[in-house]
Amino acid sequence: MDKIKSKKNNPALPDPISPFVYNILKEIGIDSNKNEGMLNTPKRVAQSFRFLTRGYQQDAAKILLQGSFSEKYNQMVLVKDIDFYSMCEHHLLPFYGKCHVAYIPNGRVVGLSKLPRLVDIFARRLQVQERMTQEIANAIELHLQPKGVAVVVEAFHLCIAMRGVEKQNAYATTSEMLGAFEKHERTRMEFLSFIHRNANR
Buried b / exposed e over 76-110, threshold 16 CB at 10 Å, is bbbbbebebebbbeeeeebbebbbbbbbbbeebbb
Rounded to whole angstroms, the Cα distance separating 7 from 10 reads 5
**Per annotation, catalytic residue among 88, 100, 134, 176:** 88
Asked if residues 141 and 178 have their Cβ atoms less than 8 Å apart, the reply is yes
Active site residue 71: no
Q: Is 143 a catalytic residue?
A: no
Question: Active site includes 99?
Answer: no
Catalytic residue, chosen from 71, 89, 130, 196, is 89
- Choosing from 47, 91, 182, 184, which is the catalytic residue? 91
171 membership: H or E segment, kind and range: strand 171-179
Catalytic residue among 47, 58, 141, 159: 159
Distance of CA 184 to the CA centre of its chain: 28
Catalytic status, residue 196: no
Concerning whether 90 is annotated as a catalytic residue, the answer is: yes
Tell me which of 90, 130, 145, 196 is the catalytic residue.
90
* Consecutive H or E run containing 81: strand 77-88
Q: Is 66 a catalytic residue?
A: no
Q: Which residues are catalytic?
A: 88-91, 129, 157, 159
